[in-house]
C-alpha cells in the first residue's frame, strides 16, 4: 500500500473523462486529479504524515489555477497542463517534500504540474490521431486549489482504501 496527495479540480470532467476512459489505466481507480505527492510506501507513519501535511498547508491560502494545453511526457503520457498557478503548485510540491518526505523526493525528475489524460502508444500515426482528438475538445478550465486529499492506495488493485481531506485557508 502507498500514500499520495492529490488535488481534485472542481471542474466539469465530462470531456476529460472521454479521453481518460479510453487511455488512462487509472480511470476506474481515481477521479481526474493533479498529484502533488507521488505514491510513497506505507512504511511512513500515517499520523506523522498527516501532521506534516497539516503543518505545510497551514501556511497556504486558496489559489487559482488554469488548466489548458496538452503535452506528451517522456514516457508516453498525455498531460493537460497547469498554465497559471504552475509556480504556486511547484512551490507547494517542493514544500511538501521536506522533513519526513525529503527522502522520497526525486531530484532527477522535474515536477510538472498536470492532470493526466492517458498513456498513449508509441505508434506515431495513432498518437497523432489521438492528440488531434484531444485538441478538438479544447480543454480549458479555471478553478481553485482549495483542498488536497491524502489517499491510501492498495497497490494490488490500485484502488483507494481511504482518503483524508485537507482544506487550504481562505
* Fold classified for 2-167: Cyclic Phosphodiesterase; Chain: A, (3.90.1140)
Q: Alpha carbon 93 to chain centroid distance?
A: 11
What is residue 130's predicted lDDT score, i.e. its pLDDT? 73
The domain limits of the chain are 2-167
Q: What percent of the chain is predicted at pLDDT more than 70?
A: 95
Residues forming a β-bridge with 144:
64
pLDDT level of residue 122 (50, 70, 90 thresholds): low
Model confidence over 28-71: pLDDT tens digits?
999 999 999 999 986 889 999 999 999 999 999 999 999 999 99
pLDDT level of residue 123 (50, 70, 90 thresholds): low
Asked if 117 and 81 count as a contact pair (C-beta separation under 8 A), the reply is: no
| Residue 131 pLDDT > 90 | no
Asked if 88 and 57 count as a contact pair (C-beta separation under 8 A), the reply is: no
| Residue 125 pLDDT > 70 | yes
| Residue 157 pLDDT > 60 | no
Amino acid at each position: 500500500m502507498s500514500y499520495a496527495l492529490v488535488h481534485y479540480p472542481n471542474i466539469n470532467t465530462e470531456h476529460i473523462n472521454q479521453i481518460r476512459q479510453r487511455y488512462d489505466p487509472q480511470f476506474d481507480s481515481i477521479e481526474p486529479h493533479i498529484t502533488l505527492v507521488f505514491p510513497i510506501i506505507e512504511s511512513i507513519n500515517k499520523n506523522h504524515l498527516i501532521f506534516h501535511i497539516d503543518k505545510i498547508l497551514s501556511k497556504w491560502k486558496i489559489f487559482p489555477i488554469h488548466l489548458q494545453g496538452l503535452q506528451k511526457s517522456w514516457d508516453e503520457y498525455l498531460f493537460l497542463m497547469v498554465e497559471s498557478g504552475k509556480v504556486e503548485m511547484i512551490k507547494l510540491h517542493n514544500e511538501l517534500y521536506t522533513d519526513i518526505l525529503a527522502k522520497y523526493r526525486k531530484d532527477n525528475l522535474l515536477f510538472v504540474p498536470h492532470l493526466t489524460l492517458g498513456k498513449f502508444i508509441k505508434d506515431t500515426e495513432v498518437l497523432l490521431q489521438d492528440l488531434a482528438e484531444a485538441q478538438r475538445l479544447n480543454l480549458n478550465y479555471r478553478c481553485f486549489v482549495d483542498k488536497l486529499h491524502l489517499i491510501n492506495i492498495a497497490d494490488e488493485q490500485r484502488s483507494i482504501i481511504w482518503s483524508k481531506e485537507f482544506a487550504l485557508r481562505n
